[in-house]
Amino acid sequence: DAKTTQPPSMDCAEGRAANLPCNHSTISGNEYVYWYRQIHSQGPQYIIHGLKNNETNEMASLIITEDRKSSTLILPHATLRDTAVYYCIVRVEGGSEKLVFGKGTKLTVNP
């Protein structure tokens, strides 16, 4: 079973920041938080991951709480092309461990 909990759906206005929450209260010390997204039946796309520090790349920012029990993925300026299902996954980095997908959050970016 997935070790994360996400809201089933969210809406965001185009151009505004999209903040997607994720709860992972049972995360282990060596597990990272990964975010993927899946745009309408395409293969999932890696977005970002982190252990305990906040991370930022060209796609998004990841904010992890100090106790590591929850995190937020931030898309700073959402576009219509960001409409997708976003998956939050916890996983040990390296070792070729499988990804366990939960149901994710369906983000709809509205014009």
Partner 1 sequence: SAVISQKPSRDICQRGTSLTIQCQVDSQVTMMFWYRQQPGQSLTLIATANQGSEATYESGFVIDKFPISRPNLTFSTLTVSNMSPEDSSIYLCSVDRQGSGWETQYFGPGTRLLVL
Q: How far is the CB of 83 from partner 1 (least distance, A)?
A: 16
Q: Determine whether 71 is exposed, middle or buried from the number of CB atoms within 10 Å of its CB (0-12, 13-18, 19+).
A: buried
Comparing CB distances to partner 1, the nearer of 46 and 56 is: 46
Comparing CB distances to partner 1, the nearer of 14 and 49 is: 49
CA distance 18 to 55: 16
Q: How far is the CB of 76 from partner 1 (least distance, A)?
A: 22
DSSP reduced 3-state for 57:
coil
DSSP reduced 3-state for 2:
coil
Q: Can you read off the two tokens belonging to residue 57?
A: 């790349």
DSSP reduced 3-state for 80:
helix
Q: How far is the CB of 110 from partner 1 (least distance, A)?
A: 22
Comparing CB distances to partner 1, the nearer of 35 and 70 is: 35
Instruction: Give the interface with partner 1 as residue ranges (CB under 8 A).
Output: 34, 41-46, 49, 87, 93-94, 96, 98-104
